[in-house]
Copies of this chain bind each other. A is one copy, B any other.
Amino acid sequence: MCQLLGMNANTPTDVMFSFTGLATRADEHKDGFGVGFFEGRGVRLFVDHQSARVSPVAQLVKTWPIRSEHVIAHIRKATQGVVSLENTHPFQRELWGRYWVFAHNGNLVDFNPRLHAAFKPVGDTDSERAFCWLMQEMAKAHAGVPDVDELSRTLAELMPQLHRHGTFNMLLSNGQALWAHASTRLHWLERRHPFQPVALKDEDMRVDFASVTTPNDRVALIATEPLTTDEPWTAFEPGELRVFEAGTGRAAV
């Protein structure tokens, strides 16, 4: 199974610590990785079809403090589609003058929707097909970029149509909010004042967040499996869609 990592914060925050935790799991997930960072409306998208353990791009992401309010990362174990750059998550498209970044964990069976609009897959994964369909249906539902609550309602209507084709855990952001949907496995966590020292589950590494944050900072993390010990990660319910803004999440509807 692939691994997802999302981060949403009320102030630009780096994900070096969490990404290191995720990349450690790349042993079993050697079919590429990717990470998208929003900086305002702009996006940096780093993808590689090498494992996050050896990729020079992963090394850059682990050591360069890219500060962002919305981050989506993915390490891949291929279920559909060959191992190639065009099949590597996250995927990116533009809609309504906003970039959208999407990553998926799971496997959709017999999902062949009619893609009659402006969004066509470049690669051959079920995931990119699902993303193009989501973009198409969102474009049909709204003439311009709606507010976050309206978008949440639209997404809440669309999720079950994907979910019924199989496992559909996903992260989606447009730089305003980050949406997370779980069909099987996804966990979330909110960090806020007072910050504590925490340890990565899979690597011998600790950070004292109190020393690198201010009392006003709020950070939400979303991950397939909890990345740290000593913190109260909460499992998503099956079918749950949550929306994260300014470092805090809520049920989307």
Contacts and interface: CB of A to CB of B under 8 A. Distances in A.
Interface residues of A, number: 36
Interface centre among A42, A96, A99, by most chain B C-beta atoms within 10 angstroms, is A42
Contacts of A122: 41-42, 94, 97-99
The count of identical subunits is: 2
B41 A123 contact: yes
A142 to B, nearest CB: 13
Contact of A42 (B60, B88, B118): B88
A166 interface: no
Contacts of A118: 95, 117-119, 139
Interface of A: 39-49, 56-57, 60, 64, 84-88, 92-99, 117-123, 139
25 contacts: A39-B84, A40-B84, A40-B86, A41-B84, A41-B122, A41-B123, A42-B47, A42-B49, A42-B85, A42-B86, A42-B88, A42-B123, A44-B46, A44-B85, A45-B45, A56-B60, A56-B64, A93-B94, A94-B119, A94-B120, A95-B118, A95-B120, A97-B120, A99-B122, A118-B119
